[in-house]
Amino acid sequence: MSQLPMIAVRPNEMATLAAETQPEPQPAMQVRGLGVRFGSKLVLSDVDMSFPTGRITALIGPSGCGKTTFLRSLNRMHDTTPGAVVIGTVLLGDTDIYSSDIEATQVRARIGMVFQRANPFPTLSIYDNVVSGLRFNGIRKRAILDEAAEGALRAAALWDSVEHKLRTSAMRLSGGEQQRLCIARALAIEPDVLLMDEPTSALDPIATMRIEALLRKLCERVSIIIVTHNMQQAARVSDYCGFLMVDDARVGHLIETGPTVSIFSKPRDSRTEDYVTGRIG
C-alpha cells in the first residue's frame, strides 16, 4: 500500500479533529452555575463551562461582558473586593476552590495569574521575582530555588537572555521580557492552571508573537485560560473558546463554547457569528 503523505496539523486543528472523533480531555477546571455580583449589581450569571486539561481556552466577548470578572473568579481574586459575591461552583479537579476549608493562597498556589500589564516586583531582581512565590510558600533551600528559577525562565523563553544578569532589577527588562518574567514567576510554583488576562494587550506585535508562541509550548505543562479582546489572537492560540455577552439588563452570560476552529468557522449561535464576524462589538 502506498504511503500517505504526512500532513502537519496545528494543535488547535487537532482540538477540532479530536472534538469530532473523541471526547475532549478531562477538565482541569469546571464551573457550574457561576455568577458574580458586586453589591446588588449582578454582572455575570449562570455560567457552566469546562476547561480541558493541557489545552488553551480563550474567553472572548465585547467590552463589559464579564470576561475578566469570570477569569478573576477562577482563582478567588474577588475575595478582597468589597461587596463581591461569587455564586455557584468552581472546581479545580475535584476540589471546590470556594469551599470554606480552603484558603485563597492554597488556590493561587495551583492557579497562577498573569495580568494585562507586566507587574514584576519593582524592587526585586529578576531572580527574586521568579522565586517570590516559592519563598512565599516557605521554600528557602537555595538549590531548589535555583532549579525552579532556571526551569521557569527556560519555560518562559527568557533564560538565554537573562542567565547572566539574574541579579539585576526586573525593571531593566523590556516590556515583552517583563511579561515573560511574570509568566516565569507564575510558572515557578508549578500551577495546574494559568489564567491570563489580556497578557499581550500592552505589547508590540513582535513581543506579542513571542508570547503567543510561548503559550503553545506552555500548554504541555499547564492548562491555560486566556482573556483576549483580540479575536485573531484567540483564533491563533486557543484550542477552545467561550463567547460571553451581556443581556438587556447588562448581565454577562456565556453564549457558546466549543473548539476554536468551530467558533470561528461555524458558530452555533447567531450572536457568536455576529461577534466573530465583527457585526457587533
Contact positions vs another protein (CB under 8 A): 62, 231-232, 235, 245-246, 264-267, 273, 276-281
By beta-carbon proximity to another protein, the closer residue of 175 and 281 is: 281
Q: Which three cell numbers stand for residue 50?
A: 469546562
Shortest distance, position 264 Cβ to another protein, whole Å: 5
Shortest distance, position 84 Cβ to another protein, whole Å: 24
By beta-carbon proximity to another protein, the closer residue of 222 and 244 is: 244
Query: Which residues sit opposite 91 in a β-bridge?
Result: 30, 96
If you search the block for the grid coordinates 525593571, which residue do you land on?
171
Shortest distance, position 252 Cβ to another protein, whole Å: 11
Distance of CA 16 to the CA centre of its chain: 20
172 Cβ contact list (under 8 Å, min separation 6): 165
By beta-carbon proximity to another protein, the closer residue of 213 and 280 is: 280
The answer to whether the beta carbons of residues 197 and 73 sit under 8 Å apart is no
Pairing of strands 84-92, 95-96: antiparallel
CA angle (47 as vertex; 246, 245 as ends), nearest 5: 20
By beta-carbon proximity to another protein, the closer residue of 17 and 280 is: 280
Shortest distance, position 78 Cβ to another protein, whole Å: 24
